Structure 1
Amino acid sequence: MKKWVLAVLSLTLIAVLAACGTKSTTSDTNNANENTGGSPREVELKVGASPVPHAEILEAIKPQLEKEGVRLQVVQFNDYVQPNVQLFDKQLDANFFQHVPYLDVMNKERKMDLVSVGAVHLEPFGIYSQKYKKLDELPDGATVAIPNDATNGGRALLLLEKQGLIKLKDASNIEATVKDITENKKNLKFKELEAAMLPRQLPEVDIALINTNYALEAKLNPTKDALALEDKDSPYANVLVARPDNKDSEAIQKLLKALQSPETKKFIEDKYQGAIIPAF
């Protein structure tokens, strides 16, 4: 009888200890997940970007974000469509490659609702040539290559108008097309191409109007090689873009803060020497 009582007490003690051990383990796991003390729990952000300068800027801010508990994965794209499509489909958490006028057109055309979170930098649009040193050297009937998307094509035409080469129906229409040209004294011939192809077409045309990110990829220096550049007060600042469901999240706001930090401003100014201009 005495042995039986001792056996029951032993089993009860083992059960109690096991229960305490389980409770302790669960408590430790919860504390690890909540991470209430010490450094913040790490969150991963997957951000789509053009290789230059956007991906370079994102790579530069990785150390800042790591201190804030954000691990940045940069996915590079060589087109202007997929970064928005994949963001909308939640394959990306954000993207960084475009200006608001382009975003507005994409949202309308693709029935998306992506939103700008904040401006980061301006890339002055430029006119480039491998054949001429000045715009007034352009011959009659010269071939001009411009982007084939609505906003960047319109942006190119507005720059040509500002340089006195053409006149448009509405000088404020950022979606102007070649059909909106009302005066073309040099009888310029327009070749509309995908923006990424424009640097490669320089040997085949007289001038090409190229987005600065693609100019930099092609080793062109906008401040030295462009025959003309947009003014620094251009409205085409490149922005960080997210979705309505995550734009206010802590991780996205930390990303924006890092992109608009004094360290990032210095990086842009030092690395790009005026070809890229901070917009904050």
Structure 2
Amino acid sequence: MQVNTLLKTFSAAALALTLAACGGQTETAAPAAASDASAAAGAEKKEIVFGTTVGDFGDMVKDQIQPALAKKGYTVKLVEFTDYVRPNLALAEGELDINVFQHKPYLDDFKKEHNLDITEAFQVPTAPLGLYPGKLKSLDEVKEGASVSAPNDPSNFARALVMLNELGWITLKEGVNPLTASKADIAENLKNIKIVELEAAQLPRSRADVDFAIVNGNYAMSSGMKLTEALFQEPSFAYVNWSAVKTADQDSQWLKDVTEAYNSDEFKAYAHKRFAGYKYPAVWGEGAAVGAASEASATASAASAQ
């Protein structure tokens, strides 16, 4: 499939699924304001437990969201995880009130597989997936049999395959759904690329052992890598990440207050300064995200038929 055709299909399929977004855990506590002890029993909750992956999403909570919610009388607790499995299970089991770490294709697949009653709430700034140098330092150095590490969960692995297709290192089969692409969908491995599948958190360290590494943005940032070091980034806005909550909480006042904090002018200013180069929520109405959504809208019905 030609690159431009795949990208159009990718954007269209993304919108058709209402896309735009992302085990071991480390418990931390964001500085919290005391809740109102005089609140009547049964009143709207005033303690919110967030779950994020380690790094940028946790920093957003600690730096901006907790202080904003404290002004409204909320106590905020933060639990940081080191993988993509436990946060959704912890949410469904009531250990968390909200998590922030995943894109919608992953959420949709995970909740279906585990029969979880959770749903997306709002989008958050997200570092794009990128291909970073390992033993080789430029795209021009790619050689026959080059090794590339990639995330091993299905939705992120599909993203990695789309990137390799865009680079011209592999060719995906005509008509493949880029949201669910797998090794079986590789029509031709033009460079005989050896794809090394690893847990996403291990990808930054893998660069010492492979020629190139495809690394999730949050793990790149949390390991001290810079987005500007990427040799190639995915152009699509289909994987801007979402928060997730229990379906029963989707109309709660506390969630409305959290959503307002993430979409406030103060948070936007912080994100633009601290997380330059990220992709931002579509509701912010900024840049290419809006253009990508418009293009996808024009061809969404075609993608739905794939």
What TM bracket, shorter-length normalisation? 0.7 to 0.9
Q: Which amino acid aligns with 2:38?
A: A
Percent of residue pairs bearing the same amino acid type: 36
Q: What residue is the counterpart of 2:109 in the other structure?
A: 105
User: What is the aligned partner in structure 2 of residue 214 from structure 1?
Assistant: 219
What is the deviation of 1:131? 2.4
3-state SS in 1 of match to 2:267: helix
Q: Which residue pairs with 2:86 in the alignment?
A: 82
Give the paired residue count. Answer: 243
Deviation at 1:172, TM superposition (A): 3.7
Aligned to 1:162: 166
In structure 2, the residue matched to 1:4 is none
* One-letter amino acid matched to 1:176: A
Deviation (angstroms), 1:268: 1.2
Which one of 220, 241, 246 corresponds to residue 244 of structure 2? Answer: 241
Are the counterparts in 2 of residues 42 and 69 from structure 1 also a CA contact under 8 Å? Answer: no
CA distance in 2 between counterparts of 1:230 and 1:173 reads: 12
CA contact (8 A) 2:125 2:241 kept: yes
Structure 2: which 5+ residue stretches go unaligned?
A: 1-36, 285-306
Shift of 1:153: 0.4
CA distance in 2, matches of 1:176, 1:260: 33
Structure 1: gaps of 5 or more residues: 1-30
The separation in 2 between residues aligned to 1:230 and 1:51, in whole angstroms, is 22
**Pick aligned residue for 2:207 from 188, 202, 213:** 202
- Distance (whole Å) between structure 2 residues aligned to residue 41 and residue 160 of structure 1: 48
1:240–1:256 Cα contact (<8 Å) kept = no
- 2:33 is the counterpart of 1:33: no
Note the 1:47-62 alignment, pairs <5 A: 47-59=50-62, 60-62=64-66
Tell me the residue number matched to 1:174: 179
Residues 102-141 of structure 1 mapped to structure 2, 5 A cutoff? 102-141=106-145
On the 8 A contact 2:45/2:254 being kept in 1, the answer is no
Which amino acid counterpart does residue 115 of structure 2 have in structure 1?
K
Is the helix fraction higher in 1 or 2?
1
Alpha-carbon distance between aligned partners in 2 of 1:124 and 1:91, rounded to the nearest angstrom: 29
Secondary structure at the aligned position of 1:87 is classed as: helix
Tell me if 1:188 matches 2:193: yes
Aligned residues of 1:123 and 1:238 also touching (Cα < 8 A)? no
Q: Distance in 2 between matches of 1:50 and 1:166?
A: 31
Structure possessing the higher radius of gyration over alpha carbons:
1
3-state DSSP class of the match of 2:102? Answer: strand
Give the drift of 1:171.
4.9
Native 8 Å contact 2:118 2:245 kept in 1 = yes
Contact map agreement 2:237 2:279 (CA 8 A) in 1: no
Instruction: Measure, in 2, the Cα distance between the counterparts of 1:211 and 1:187.
Output: 23
8 A contact 1:47–1:72 mirrored in 2:
yes
Contact 2:44–2:254 under 8 Å retained in 1: no
Q: State the one-letter code of the partner of 1:185.
A: L
Q: Distance in 1 between matches of 2:279 and 2:273?
A: 11
* Distance in 2, Cα, partners of 1:118 & 1:191: 33
Query: Conserved in 1, the CA contact under 8 Å of 2:171 and 2:190?
Result: no
How far apart, CA to CA, are the structure 2 residues paired with 1:32 and 1:132? 62
In structure 2, what is the equivalent of residue 91 of structure 1? 95
Given that 2:44 and 2:253 are in contact with CA atoms closer than 8 Å, whether structure 1 keeps it comes out as no
Q: Distance between the aligned counterparts of 2:136 and 2:219, measured in 1?
A: 20
Secondary structure of the corresponding residue to residue 91 of structure 1: coil
Give the C-alpha shift of residue 133 in structure 1.
2.9
Aligned with 2:39: secondary structure? helix
Q: Which residue of 2 aligns with 1:278?
A: 280
Paired with 1:33 and 1:47, the residues of 2 have a C-alpha distance of: 22
Distance 1:171 1:268 in 2: 35
RMSD over aligned Cα atoms:
1.8
